Chains A and B, each alone.
Chain A
Amino acid sequence: MFAYIIRRVLYAIPILIGVNLLTFALFFVVNSPEDMARMHLGEKRVTEQAIEKWKQNRGYDKPLLYNVQAEGVQVLTDTIFFTKSVRLFVLDFGSADDGRNIGQDILQRMWPSLAIAIPVFIVGLLVNITFALLLAFFRATYIDIWGVIGCVILMSISTLFYIIGGQYLIGKTLQLVPISGYDFGLNSFKFLVLPVLVGIIGGIGAGTRWYRTIFLEEINRDYVRTARAKGLSELRVLFRHVLKNAMIPILTGAVVVIPLLFMGSLLTESFFAIPGLGAYTIEAIQAQDFAIVRAMVFLGSVMYIVGLVLTDISYTLVDPRIRLN
């Protein structure tokens, strides 16, 4: 088991290197730091000095890959590639355009993100499984058919509509909770209700339909027929046998998402003014702060790969048929 995990982690390293090279190419090769400086400072009539100063402040005044002027190891280390891209591997994200330390910011902002993402994830999973079981129980009846059509309708509505509609209906018309904002500690509860609710409702359509197909796939298996032949009631079959076996694809599918939870949701956080990582990313994109975007791209792929590794491990844990090789 341990060797297996080690192997999986080692396998992730070339992927991270690839991500790193790709982001480096996107941010520094497609557009030179010169171009970035020009755009930041206004396109026309920028003096050379201003550009140089801009680059120097951010450490972009070095050569891209190979520093001819430096000596020894510094030939490779005193370059943009090393200081900006390779340093990401040790989670050194550098500083943002306003001089703040990105690593510090991320540590601070991940908590509000988690405060929304975790309830949405857990409650959403439960709600979706419940609905899917219901549809599977009533399969091939009008309840099932209309349930699926309802799911398609829910899926066809833009996330933006859920958020704006929720804010308008609950926050503004009914005035049950504040429209947006955030507070730390227990006070945060009233700010979190609405975003969590919106997150759950927004995911019902796709989630329920997806789990329903998983259940239906299990329901047609031989062991289910055997269980029915034994004389078990439909409910018992559904809960004791189908649900248990369907949990394998459901759980392993859910594990992938867990590490990504803390990246936060871009839309929800920015609409509800929650100071999480999602809002952080959006602000960076809108302010065109390349350092933060680069850090988040890297962090996101690290989390995705962690999710993949966790999935593989959880497969072997829940499904004894899968061997470790």
Chain B
Amino acid sequence: MRAMIQLHRQFWFWPLLLIAGLWLALLALPPLAGVKAVYLDTDKLIFLLVSGVLLLAGYIRSREHLRGPWRHIFRQRRAMIALVVLLFFIVCGLLDSVHFRKPLPSQGVTQQRYSVKVLSLLDILLDDMRRNVEKTYSAPLATHLFAKETVTLENGDVERRYVRLKYGGRDLTDPASQKWPNIRDLATRGVVVGAIIWLVLSAGLTAIFARHQRQPVAVMAKRVYRGDTDIPWRSIYLSLLLMLILLAVLLTLSTEYHVLGTDKVGQDVLYQSIKSIRTGLVIGTLTTLVMLPFAIVLGVMAGYFRSWVDDVIQYLYTTLSSIPGVLLIAAAILSIQVYIANHPALFETALDRADLRLLALCVILGITSWTTLCRLLRGETLKLREMEYIQAATALGVGQFTILGRHVLPNVMHIVLIIVVLDFSSLVLAEAVLSYIGVGVDPSTLSWGNMINGARLELARDPVVWWSLVAAFCLMFSLVLAANLFADAVRDAFDPRLREQG
């Protein structure tokens, strides 16, 4: 009975509860909402990753010596601002990973049928943007198409002129005079909405902390305002405010305009660049998930067992790393393309196919990028195995694998963490380059690389169609910059002496 009461004190209790709730929601909510859930391979892996991270967070919270470095990170202003920005990207990516198919209106048939189009929760939130497809290019916030078109007037005359957009500023009777006041009104509304959400959020958070630290809310609020807290809450709240206002303004404006214009086939560029977030995150995170087991097991084994095990593993990673990365990826993706082209029956929808290619890309990127981590782990293990506590364990007759698991592995984990966060940003950047070369994600997958690739040729036009490029670059830049800043803080906290690339 005592043990039962103590259950909630176990480190895994709250994380497991959260994970169970998450999985239950993923499994049970779609049928309740009347849609057919679609679990792509990458979706499953993402939620597996989220569960793992939650468990890990619970574990770290419960161990004082593990909490130290994290506390150090949480006290750095730059890292926390980066984290706030990252959180927005992560939420977008997670919302975009819950896929389902909407039911078709039943026509008296007994069996319910579902639309072939796979949507995600994010699509529902951005429904306007997704549906409001224009004919072709239009500039940001435009009310007319970008290029003149030949129109047949009612009296039969033919004229070339800028055609009004179907959706951009559709309620305006006289766009020339009404557009900017209208945009100003919408933006103001956005600012107000954003500020209100922020107020509720920050008030709630402050109240929680006040309770946590057993202080009156007013005192806590004043401390936050003065910047008199361990964790730089003032900066966090400020960046949160900025992000929320930006988001709210973008969303309110996009109800009536294409904030970042439309692309060649008239799709909203803002929608495309937001949908691309998931692709970037998947490549940045799943690649590491794929490579981690190999790198850790092989690296630690090479360093610990030495002799022929070390030789074999060293040979393996020297061989792999001697092949230029891009070429190995290209060769592998070409092979996969051949495979996909020759086995069309394996895939139910086009999305399945695109998803397999995305996953394949992650696996291949993982294969090319595990060598650095493996080398570092081997070196560290070589150092560790000569330490007295490990020699003591050996002398006491502890089994080799127990030593590896209990004494070596926990002491190399900081290297794993540092490399994982450092790799993330370079992987996001690599996606764009690979997609440009034509060995990246499937052309039908929305990604920043594909957006850049599609818009590149339009730079030769006069006047220039710049918005697709700028949108893709800006979002990619903010994600990578935030990730880089956060990674720097992680590196400094866990191992200030580890050099950037081994």
Contact = CB atoms under 8 A, between A and B. Distances in A.
Given A158-B476, A267-B436, A285-B437, A27 B335 contact: yes
Interface in A22-54: 22-23, 26-27, 30-31, 35-36, 38-39, 43
Interface in B307-321: 315-316, 318-321
Interface in B290-330: 315-316, 318-324, 326-328, 330
Given A23-B331, A164-B459, A282-B437, A301 B339 contact: no
Query: Contact size class for B?
Result: 35 or more
A19 B339 CA distance: 22
B90 interface: no
Contacts, number: 132
B133 interface: no
Given A14-B315, A43-B341, A300-B323, A158 B433 contact: yes
A224 interface: no
B501 A19 contact: no
A19 B500 CA distance: 27
A161 B484 contact: no
Interface in B327-345: 327-328, 330-332, 334-335, 337-339, 341-342, 344
B499 interface: yes
Interface string A239-250: 000000000000
B224 interface: no
A159 interface: yes
B477 interface: yes
B335 A15 contact: no
B480 interface: yes
B481 A297 contact: no
Interface SS of B by simple majority: helix
Contacts of B316: 18
A158 B437 CA distance: 14
A19 B481 contact: no
The residue among B315, B331, B332, B476 with the most chain A CB atoms within 10 A of its own CB is B331
Given A39-B338, A155-B484, A168-B459, A27 B319 contact: no
Interface of B: 315-316, 318-324, 326-328, 330-332, 334-335, 337-339, 341-342, 344, 425, 429, 432-433, 436-439, 452, 456, 459, 464, 469, 473, 476-477, 480-481, 484-485, 488, 499-501
In order of increasing CB-CB distance, the 4 nearest A-B pairs are A18-B319, A300-B324, A156-B481, A301-B322
12 contacts: A27-B335, A31-B342, A43-B344, A155-B484, A158-B480, A209-B500, A267-B437, A270-B437, A285-B330, A285-B439, A294-B331, A308-B322
Given A159-B429, A281-B330, 11 more contacts: A19-B319, A27-B335, A152-B481, A156-B481, A158-B480, A168-B459, A266-B326, A297-B328, A300-B323, A304-B324, A308-B322
